[in-house]
Amino acid sequence: MTEKNFIVPASEFNTQIAGSVNAKSPSNIALVKYWGKTSPQIPTNPSISYTLTQSFTETQLNFAPKKAEFSNISVRLNGEEQPNFVPKIQQFFDRIHAYAPYLQDFDFEIITSNSFPHSSGIASSASGMSALAKCLLLLEEKMLFFVENPLQRASFMARLGSGSACRSLYPGLVAWGKSSFLPQSSDLFAVPVDTKIHPIFTQFEDTILLIHEGSKSVSSTVGHQLMNGHPYAAKRFDEAKQNIGKLLEILQNGDLESFGNLCEHEALSLHAVMLMSKPPYILMMPNTIAVINKIWEFRKETNLPLFFTLDAGANIHLLYPTNEKEKIRDYIEKELLTYCQNGKAIYDFVNFENL
């Protein structure tokens, strides 16, 4: 598949319709991280994520033939008009123009809400952009345009909105980026990981400790850019590529300890390249470090499989198998919630069901 396969001539679409479509899409958490990209949104290394359940975006897209020369876009989040979101949506629509030429013929009203608090520091771009891409596919159906593989097309479009969003189209374990370990993988869209997965990894918890609510000091966009010319970039990309192979092996053989070591190393490598960027930056907070040390202590004392990963932010994702939920939840509530800014966590878990 190449980009050309996704191009559709404007004549294929009847844009003289008005109506509304709705879609819901979850967030995802990367185990092997994507950090660094080339234009247009091509990842510098492959990544694998778990699709989540409780953290999602719901979007309604109202459309009508445009009334003026240029199409109008308005965005409402949780009931409030958000003019500052419009440039991001406009940039997304500009990027997918060749693939969705009908966009310029409509006025759009985007009404969206997240299941998680907007200020929680949880990135809404993965769930938000994938929900919007799903809406576009539904709009295409209303224009009687059908493709053989709508999820792949939605993933291709979502990627151009936000890289990690392309993985949110599929449940379970999802890969994005060409990898020699996954023959069906692509830089252009995500694919479900189709190897046999050990049952221990099919029921997994992700408790998100909200260490710091609010926006972060350096955005992901800037973070990706800082990987250009980064002195350690080549080493990082190489290691991530190898880690895909290692993770796939672990996912098959059910080795929890190696899983935890690999996920934690990936998370710390992501933050290490931030520390070594020029200019440097730190997204972890003192409580992020305190919790990491607590997790390592807890593991040493109890031998229970509680691991962590990090996004590009201060919050901690606690990873543990569902069959150990009782004991680990108890520890989280008694010992870890106190490190959260408002004592809050999101008890999410992996979704292997059809989305």
The smaller minimum CB distance to ligand PMV, of residues 163 and 171, is found at 163
Tokens 């009847």 identify what position?
14
Instruction: Count the helix, strand and coil residues of the chain and give each as a percent rounded to the nearest 5.
Output: 40, 25, 35
Binder of ligand PMV out of 21, 73, 110, 123 (CB under 6 A): 123
114 binds ligand PMV (CB under 6 A): no
CA distance 323 to 308: 17
Under DSSP, the state recorded for 198 is -
CA distance 33 to 70: 38
The reply on whether position 206 binds ligand PMV by CB under 6 A is: no
Euclidean distance between the first and final Cα of the chain, in Å? 24
Does 51 engage in binding with ligand PMV (CB under 6 A)? no
Q: Which residue has the tokens 């975006």?
A: 57
**By CB under 6 A, residue 169 contacts ligand PMV:** no
Rg of the chain in Å (alpha carbons): 20
Cβ(215)–Cβ(83) below 8 Å: no
Of 38, 35, 40, 41, nearest in space to 235 by CA: 35
Phi, psi of 292, deg, nearest 5: -60, -45
Among 25, 53, 55, 125, interactor with ligand PMV by CB under 6 A: 125
The span from the CA of 126 to the CA of 132, in Å, is: 10
Total binding residues for ligand PMV by CB under 6 A?
Answer: 15
Minimum CB distance to ligand PMV, residue 148 (Å): 26
Q: Does the protein bind ligand PMV through residue 164 (CB under 6 A)?
A: yes
Examine residue 47 and tell whether it contacts ligand PMV (CB under 6 A).
Answer: yes
**Contact (Cβ atoms closer than 8 angstroms) between residue 205 and residue 54:** no
CA–CA distance, 322 with 328 (Å, rounded to integer): 9
C-beta closer to ligand PMV: residue 123 or 136: 123
Contact flag: residue 35 with ligand PMV (CB under 6 A)? yes
Pick the piece of the chain touching ligand PMV (CB under 6 A) from 3-11, 28-36, 61-69, 298-306: 28-36
Q: Which is nearer to ligand PMV, 140 or 266 (CB)?
A: 266
- Backbone phi and psi for residue 350, each to the nearest 5 degrees, phi listed first: -75, 140
Stretch binding ligand PMV (CB under 6 A), from 75-83, 102-110, 157-165, 277-285: 157-165
As a residue count, the chain comes to 355
Among 45, 220, 309, 315, binds ligand PMV (CB under 6 A): 220
* From 6, 34, 93, 237, residue interacting with ligand PMV (rule: CB under 6 A): 34
Residue from the set 33, 230, 236, 241 that interacts with ligand PMV by CB under 6 A? 33
User: Can residue 311 be called a binding residue for ligand PMV (CB under 6 A)?
Assistant: yes
Binds ligand PMV (CB under 6 A): choice among 162, 168, 186, 287: 162
* Whole-number Cα distances in Å, 143 to 31, 62, 102, 185: 38, 14, 10, 30
- Stretch binding ligand PMV (CB under 6 A), from 33-41, 234-242, 271-279, 283-291: 33-41
Nearer to ligand PMV, 45 or 59 (CB): 45
Contact between 44 and 227 under an 8 Å Cβ cutoff? The reply is yes
List residues binding ligand PMV (CB under 6 A).
Answer: 30, 33-35, 47, 123, 125, 162-164, 220, 224, 270, 311-312
